[in-house]
Amino acid sequence: MLKRKAESLEPFSFNYTSYMRTTSKTWRNVAIASVIILILAVVIMTVVIVILIQSQSQANSSDPSPTAQPPEEDGEDIPGCFPSDALVKTRSRWKTIQELHIGDEVLDLDERGRPVYTEIFAWLRKDMLGHSFVKITTADGISLTLTPNHLIFKLIPDCTTPDNRTVQLSDYEAVLAGEIQKGDVLLQLDDAWNGARHATVTEIHNIRSRGAFAPATLSGTLIVDGTLVSSYTSYWFFDFIGHRFVHEIIFAPLRFFYAFFKLVVKHQPTVDALFSPTYGGTHWYVEIWKPFRSAIS
């Protein structure tokens, strides 16, 4: 009886060749599916790009140029911009902010306060209407004009003011320009443009001026009117997450999109159209975030 039962049991055997064939087939199917998904994503993205370019081109064809005479009426008090006559240093010379273009490299400061250049990859806002600004003047006589809801860097109160050789950007926090008070310490270029210095705020005035220009840089910061500022505003949930999160997380897709599109498409006017708003409007990436922002605000 036991002998017959033993004979009825088939010995276990592992067919390695069959296993590898099945495994290879599975991974091949996964790879094929991934390629199909990637192709579909590229097709969808291409269609979206074409639609955006066409809409931007049509809008820009009827928009006034930045050098045209500004309209007489005032615009809404939007957050986070600089007036048209704000000065920015490029590799060649100082320019007004309205003269800049996507792809231009502008002066910035690195984490240790050393001058570096960063690239403009998008315009978040462009118009030549009238807006409310705050004009901040330091003890050195340098003035910076920006909207109250734009982010600017000031020395953290608990930090002692180090000398210019040991400037650390980590000693500064991004705050709203409208919250700056007399006695606050900002970070500015020194007279030789080869380093940073600490500048104490001595005067603050509310003014009206023309233009609203908001360039976004790859570093998230830039020097405007000799002072270090953020590319971003309170629009991006500043009360919840802050400058660094906005730059590294929220705007990471747009920076990646810019790098990819700049690499693939060599036609600069096309890049300009895709990464600039219609004149007098906001960038399409900002518009995408509006429903989410409205839902939590």
Half-sphere exposure (CA, 13 Å, Cβ side) for 2?
0
Whether 115 maps to a domain, the answer reads yes
pLDDT 10s digits, 152-193: 999 988 776 555 446 778 889 999 999 999 999 999 988 777
| Alpha-carbon span 209 to 74, nearest angstrom | 10
Give me the pLDDT at residue 235, please: 65
Predicted confidence band of residue 23 (pLDDT cuts 50, 70, 90): low
Predicted confidence band of residue 82 (pLDDT cuts 50, 70, 90): very high
Whether 73 maps to a domain, the answer reads no
Predicted confidence band of residue 263 (pLDDT cuts 50, 70, 90): confident
- What contacts 181, CB < 8 A, 6 or more positions away? 201, 204
Q: What mean pLDDT do residues 39-56 have?
A: 56
Top-confidence residue, 9 or 67: 9
Give me the pLDDT at residue 4, please: 52
Give me the pLDDT at residue 269, please: 81
- Is pLDDT above 90 for 11? no
Whether 24 maps to a domain, the answer reads no
Whether 82 maps to a domain, the answer reads no
Give me the pLDDT at residue 193, please: 72
Predicted confidence band of residue 70 (pLDDT cuts 50, 70, 90): very low
Please list the residues that pair with 132 across neighbouring strands.
208
Top-confidence residue, 219 or 40: 219
Among 74-83, 106-115, 179-188, 260-269, name the one with the lowest average pLDDT.
74-83
What CATH number did the domain enclosing 217 receive? 2.170.16.10
- Is pLDDT above 70 for 49? no
- Is pLDDT above 70 for 36? no
Quick check: 147 and 119 in contact, CB under 8 A?
Answer: no
Top-confidence residue, 201 or 269: 201
pTM above 0.85, yes or no: no
Give me the pLDDT at residue 182, please: 95
- Is pLDDT above 60 for 47? no
Residues of the domain holding 103: 87-253
pLDDT 10s digits, 198-257: 899 999 999 999 999 999 999 999 999 999 999 988 765 555 567 888 888 889 999 998
pLDDT 10s digits, 91-121: 999 999 999 999 999 999 998 888 999 999 9
Query: How many structural domains does the chain have?
Result: 1
Top-confidence residue, 27 or 284: 284
Whether 287 maps to a domain, the answer reads no
- Is pLDDT above 60 for 74? no
Give me the pLDDT at residue 61, please: 47
Top-confidence residue, 149 or 79: 149
